[in-house]
Amino acid sequence: MIQALRSAVALPDLRRKILYTLLILVMYRVAAHVPVPGVDQEALAAVLEGSGGASQLFNLLNMFSGGAVANFSVMANGVYPYITATIIFQLLTPIIPGLDRLSQEGEAGRRKLNQWQYYMTIPLALLQSYGQVRLASSGAAGQPILPNFGFDSPENTLSTIAVLASMTAGTMFAIWLAELITEQGIGNGLSLIIFSGIVASVPQNMLRIWFEAQGIRGGGVVMGILMLAVFVAILAVTMFVIVVIQEGERRIPVQYGKRVRGIKMYQGGSTFIPLKVNTAGMIPLIFAQSFLTFPAVIAQFLVGAQNQAVSDIAQTVMEFFSGQSLWYGLLFFVAVVGFTYFYTDVMVQQQDLPGTLQRQGGFIPGIRPGKRTADYINSVYRRITLAGALFLGGVAVLPYVVDLVLQTRVMVITASGLLIVVGVVIDTMRQLEAQLLMRHYEGFIK
């Protein structure tokens, strides 16, 4: 791998792509430290260090923004509104006939869908910007992170519009940087933007583990080294399992019959359809996290209501969905498994593998084309998705297992973050490998 990396750096055009990608990531990290005007840093720190539902959601957004929420910068939204718009269009495409037809029109149709996704990103970014400020204020025990924010008084209107406009512009700027990486650099731009934020938090998390082992546990340097070693071992095992599951696939054999074109007859061939064990990727974790933090966010607005019964119920709901109990971890596991099956079914319907095979003259040996083929592929997908769903559920509840064994949830990288990191690294290595193979070099992945 080291020799292949040297070969990649030695090639002028490939070296330019690598340096270009690094430059764009540095630009994003610099912009992620530019805060919006008037931020109360003490109130913001209280939100990020809290344990309530608002803090849970805020830390999730912090991961997708590449760490920009920790500074409440102009990049605080990150690329999350665009990801949300993409997911919405993925879910609506098989439901709305017009979008389905557009998705089948080739490159022109995909460009049109991307354009609509950009248009949807703008209102989503505005809504998320407003919601983040209100959510952060509720998570900081009523202390606003932006004291001059809101449309409740005329003197705050201009500053509120400026904050919303700057955060929305930051989102579009981040998307533009991601597109530059995708078009002129190496790797997927959106993934690398998120990747940079996750990796940037590693040194801080290691220091937290070190000081917690020395201070709270009173173990000194030896305990600090031991705790870091334990977490590195957990990291290595988790990474190994992620690679195995992410690369796992079930290959279904496909046979093509003889074809006649003009006066020539072409012999039929055989190939296979690779069905991924984890087709859904990270999406079920995002859905489940957002779904379970929503009740806590709503309950926070009802705590302290005039009706004491309503206030008590809201307090109970907020405490349960704050993510501190094992019962919440069990519910999180079930939600991730359920969303994995749901999103996988959506993806399978969009792929339309039986229709593609029938149009190309292919068939699965022993299975009739049409509905029988669709039923067979769906049954195989549901069986192998069980492994992927249990894997994602385990990734989701790993912090609870660590908390139960080691009495701490501080990790070098969260399991969900590690899933993103491993996926991005594998995808980037494959793109580098493709570039090297074009020039007859030995790649990374053998």
Residue 253, phi then psi, degrees to nearest 5: -65, 145
Burial 59-71 (b: 16+ CB within 10 A, else e): bbbbbbbbbbbbb
Considering the domain boundaries, does residue 11 fall inside one?
yes
Q: Where are the alpha helices (DSSP H) in 49-106?
A: 53-64, 80-92, 97-103
**Interatomic CA distance for residues 109 and 61, integer angstroms:** 31
- Beta strand 362-363 with 249-256 is antiparallel
> In this structure, what token pair is assigned to residue 266?
């072409």
Q: Which residues contact 317 (CB under 8 A, 6 or more apart)?
A: 295, 296, 299
pLDDT recorded at residue 382 = 86
Considering the domain boundaries, does residue 251 fall inside one?
no
DSSP at 268 = P
Considering the domain boundaries, does residue 310 fall inside one?
no
Which residues pair with residue 194 across a beta bridge? Answer: none
- Beta strand 264-266 with 249-256 is unpaired
> What DSSP string runs through 21-47?
HHHHHHHHHHHTT-BPTT--HHHHHHH
Considering the domain boundaries, does residue 339 fall inside one?
no
pLDDT recorded at residue 434 = 77
What's 112's domain CATH number? 1.10.3370.10
pLDDT recorded at residue 94 = 75
Map tokens 């549901």 to a residue: 382
Considering the domain boundaries, does residue 188 fall inside one?
yes
- Beta strand 249-256 with 270-276 is antiparallel
Measured at the CA of 201, the angle between CA 237 and CA 331, to 5 degrees, comes to: 60
Considering the domain boundaries, does residue 107 fall inside one?
yes
Map tokens 């690369």 to a residue: 247
CA distances from 368 to 140, 250, 296, 380 (A): 61, 20, 50, 16
Considering the domain boundaries, does residue 19 fall inside one?
yes
CA torsion 180→182→183→186, rounded to 10°?
110
pLDDT recorded at residue 188 = 82
Residue 254, phi then psi, degrees to nearest 5: -130, 135
**Interatomic CA distance for residues 201 and 224, integer angstroms:** 19
pLDDT recorded at residue 1 = 59
The domain tally of the chain equals: 1
> What DSSP string runs through 317-330?
HHHHTTS-SHHHHH
- Beta strand 264-266 with 362-363 is unpaired
Closest CA to 352 of 318, 378, 382: 378
The residue type at 390: L
The residue type at 51: S
**Interatomic CA distance for residues 360 and 27, integer angstroms:** 46
Domain containing residue 52: 1-200
Q: Are 69 and 33 in contact (CB under 8 A)?
A: no
Kindly calculate the radius of gyration of the chain based on its CA atoms and give it in whole angstroms. Answer: 24
Considering the domain boundaries, does residue 129 fall inside one?
yes
Q: Is the dihedral of CA 117, 122, 127, 132 positive or negative?
A: positive
CA distances from 175 to 24, 265, 389 (A): 11, 49, 30
Q: Are 441 and 432 in contact (CB under 8 A)?
A: no
Closest CA to 281 of 405, 180, 183, 424: 424
Q: Is the dihedral of CA 7, 9, 12, 14 positive or negative?
A: positive
Per-residue pLDDT of the chain (446 residues; tens, 9 = 90+): 566 667 777 777 888 888 898 999 889 888 888 888 877 777 777 777 765 555 666 666 666 565 677 778 888 888 878 888 887 887 787 788 887 788 777 778 888 888 898 999 999 888 888 877 776 666 555 567 777 777 777 877 888 888 889 989 988 998 999 899 988 888 888 888 878 877 777 777 777 777 776 665 556 677 777 777 877 787 788 788 888 887 888 888 888 766 666 666 555 677 788 888 888 777 787 777 767 766 766 776 676 666 777 777 877 776 676 666 677 778 888 888 888 888 888 778 777 788 877 777 777 888 888 788 888 888 888 888 888 888 888 877 777 777 666 665 555 566 667 777 777 787 787 777 777 777 665 555 55
